Structure 1
Amino acid sequence: MGDVLSQAEVENLLSSLDGDPTPAAPAQQAAASPAAPVYSSVPAPPPRTREKVTPYDFKRPERVGKDQMRALQTMHEGFGRNYGAALSALLRTIVEVKLTSVDQLTYSEFIFSLENPTCFNLINAAPLEGQLILDINPSLLFPIIDRLLGGGSEATPPARRPLTEIELLLVGRITGLFLNEMRSAWENVIELDLSVDRVESNPQLVQIVPPNEVVVLISFELTIGDVRGMVNLCIPFNSIERIGQELSANSWVTYSSKPASPEAIQRLGLQVQSAAVEVVVELAETTISTADFIGLRVGDIIATEKDVRQPLCMLIEGRRKFEASAGAFKGRKAIQVSGVITDPAQRTAKQADEDAA
Structure 2
Amino acid sequence: MNFEPETRFLRAFGAWLQTPLTALLRETAAVRWVNQKPLSPTLVSGPAFFYQLSGEDIPPGSVIGFEFEPKLFFSLLDWLQGGEGTVEEEELSPDRPLTLLEKRLASRFLHLFHQAVLETGRISSPTEFLPTAELSRPEFRNFTAAEFRLDAGTFGGTFRLWRSYPHRQLDLGSLDEMADENDAQSMAEALAKTPVCVSVQLSGAKISPQGLLKWRVGDMIELGKPEDHPFTVLVEGMEKFTAAPGKFKSRKAFRIL
What TM-score range do you get, normalising by the shorter chain?
Answer: 0.5 to 0.7
Per-residue displacement from partner, 1:171-195 (whole Å, max 9, x unpaired)?
A: 11111011112211111xx435444
How big is the shift at 1:217?
2.0
Correspondence for 1:81: 15
Q: CA RMSD in A?
A: 2.8
Query: What are the residue-to-residue correspondences of 1:307-326 with 2, within 5 Å?
Result: none
Give the whole-Å Cα distance in 1 for the aligned partners of 2:163 and 2:24. 26
Q: 1:177 to 1:92 in 2, by over 3 A?
A: same
Correspondence for 1:186: 121
Give the whole-Å Cα distance in 2 for the aligned partners of 1:235 and 1:228. 23
Of the three residues 46, 53, 60, the one matched with 1:129 is 60
AA in 2 matched with 1:114: V
Q: 1:176 to 1:232 in 2, by over 3 A?
A: same
Correspondence for 1:139: 71
- Compare relative contact order (CA 8 Å, sep 6+) and give the higher one, 1 or 2: 2
Q: Quick check: which has more Rg, 1 or 2?
A: 1
Of the three residues 48, 60, 80, the one matched with 1:119 is 48
Correspondence for 1:219: 147
Task: Name the structure with the higher helix share.
Answer: 1
Q: 1:194 to 1:101 in 2, by over 3 A?
A: farther
Contact kept, 8 Å, 2:33 with 2:149, in 1: the verdict is yes
Contact kept, 8 Å, 1:124 with 1:194, in 2: the verdict is yes
Identity of aligned residues (%): 20
How big is the shift at 1:80?
1.0
Give the whole-Å Cα distance in 1 for the aligned partners of 2:29 and 2:126. 26
Q: 1:125 to 1:230 in 2, by over 3 A?
A: farther
- 1:100 maps onto 2:29 in alignment: no
Unaligned runs of 5+ in 2: 177-257
Correspondence for 2:208: none
Correspondence for 2:99: 164
Query: What are the residue-to-residue correspondences of 1:38-53 with 2, within 5 Å?
Result: none
Aligned residues: 169
AA in 2 matched with 1:159: L
Correspondence for 1:71: 5
Give the whole-Å Cα distance in 1 for the aligned partners of 2:8 and 2:66. 19
Correspondence for 2:174: 252
Give the TM-score, by structure 2 length.
Answer: 0.56
How big is the shift at 1:218?
1.9
Query: What are the residue-to-residue correspondences of 1:251-330 with 2, within 5 Å?
Result: 252-253=174-175
AA in 2 matched with 1:110: S
